[in-house]
Amino acid sequence: MKLINKITTLLVALLLMNINVFTQTKKDLENSQPMKTESKTIEKNTVKMTVLYDNYVFTEGTKNAWGFSCFIEGTEKKILFDTGGEGEILMFNIDKLNINTESVEMIVISHNHWDHTGGLFTFFEKKSGIPVYLPHSFPVEFIDNVKDAGASVILINEPAKICNGVYSTGEMEGRVNEQSLIVKTNKGIVVVTGCSHPGIINIIKKAQEIMGEEIYLVFGGFHLKDHSIKATKEIISQFRELGVKKCGATHCTGDKQINLFKEAYGNDYIEMGTGRVLEF
């Protein structure tokens, strides 16, 4: 009887030992596997650009007039780029296109011409107290009027970061000094111009120099309305040579010149006009 008890005790001890070994081995195997990293989906914001003011109508029910303005959202800050020529038309289109004026966080003005600054002070009646980025050469009187309206003024001379993913070319010299916007999107670099007085090719080259990459899209005023057909075609060839994938010529580009861009770019030409929405 004593022998049976000893054997039973020994068997139980061996069984318990095996269970412990198995448990420890399992833990060791679990601990030796690579640490699982948390799966994080990086959401890329959709950048949305809406033409608020232009010579041409894209969306029925909006109003057109000589000038340009564009609203940019999906970037770190919501930006109003230029304000067209007449405040009444700017605000009409803003309402028509369901743009919330309170959402605008900063304003960038390309250059000191009425068809790009004309709606600014009417807009201030709805929303002020935000920074306004002006080329360094703007008249002191204009700067003081902006400050008196309750906005702060940031003068741009050299290329500058406006907010994450958005840059100014800096004030570029031309018949009229001007800055353009450079916006990083999921599709690539987008350049938005007011009138391109320093030369549209010079602006593209400056944007490439700043960003170190080719341009996906250039849109806005190219100021080619007084250029000959031959000169315009040469500029379009330079667009191609510089690797500009898409373009949208409008405002002061000129009707004949716009048609030349349409013919050259085909499906890669972006039709412009008030109410046009571009999403990246």
Q: Domains in the chain, start-ordered, CATH in brackets?
A: 48-270 (3.60.15.10)
> pLDDT value at position 9?
52
- Mean residue pLDDT of the chain comes to 89
Higher pLDDT among residues 122 and 3, named by residue: 122
| Spatial contact of 13 and 6, defined as CB atoms under 8 Å apart | no
Backbone torsion region of residue 110, taken as left when φ is above 0, otherwise alpha when ψ lies between -120 and 50, otherwise beta: alpha
* Average pLDDT rounded to a whole number, residues 111-131: 98
Higher pLDDT among residues 219 and 18, named by residue: 219
- Give the model's confidence band at 165: pLDDT under 50 very low, under 70 low, under 90 confident, else very high: very high
> pLDDT value at position 44?
64
Report CA torsion sign: 237, 189, 74, 83: negative
* Average pLDDT rounded to a whole number, residues 30-58: 65
Pinpoint the alpha helices (H) of the chain.
Answer: 2-32, 87-96, 114-117, 120-124, 140-148, 200-211, 229-241, 255-265
| Spatial contact of 251 and 17, defined as CB atoms under 8 Å apart | no
- Give 18's Cβ-side CA count (13 Å radius): 6
* Average pLDDT rounded to a whole number, residues 181-206: 98
Higher pLDDT among residues 107 and 8, named by residue: 107
> pLDDT value at position 19?
40
> pLDDT value at position 45?
83
Q: Which residues pair with 221 in a beta bridge?
A: 250
**Helix, strand or coil for residue 238?**
helix
| Spatial contact of 106 and 80, defined as CB atoms under 8 Å apart | yes
Model confidence at 57: pLDDT above 80: yes
Q: What is the Cα–Cα distance from 74 to 1, expressed in whole angstroms?
A: 85
Phi, psi of 92, rounded to the nearest 5 degrees = -60, -50
Q: Say what percent of the chain tops pLDDT 70.
A: 84
Backbone torsion region of residue 209, taken as left when φ is above 0, otherwise alpha when ψ lies between -120 and 50, otherwise beta: alpha
Q: What is the Cα–Cα distance from 274 to 248, expressed in whole angstroms?
A: 13
pLDDT digits (tens, 9 = 90+) for 87-111: 999 999 999 999 999 999 999 999 9
* Average pLDDT rounded to a whole number, residues 222-246: 98
* Average pLDDT rounded to a whole number, residues 207-236: 97
Beta strands in 123-251 (DSSP E): 131-135, 152-156, 160-163, 166-168, 181-184, 189-193, 215-221, 246-250
Structure tokens at 214: 């080719």
> pLDDT value at position 88?
98
Q: What is the Cα–Cα distance from 203 to 168, expressed in whole angstroms?
A: 11
* Average pLDDT rounded to a whole number, residues 74-93: 98
Model confidence at 2: pLDDT above 60: no
> pLDDT value at position 203?
98
pTM of the predicted protein model: 0.84
Q: What is the Cα–Cα distance from 266 to 31, expressed in whole angstroms?
A: 59
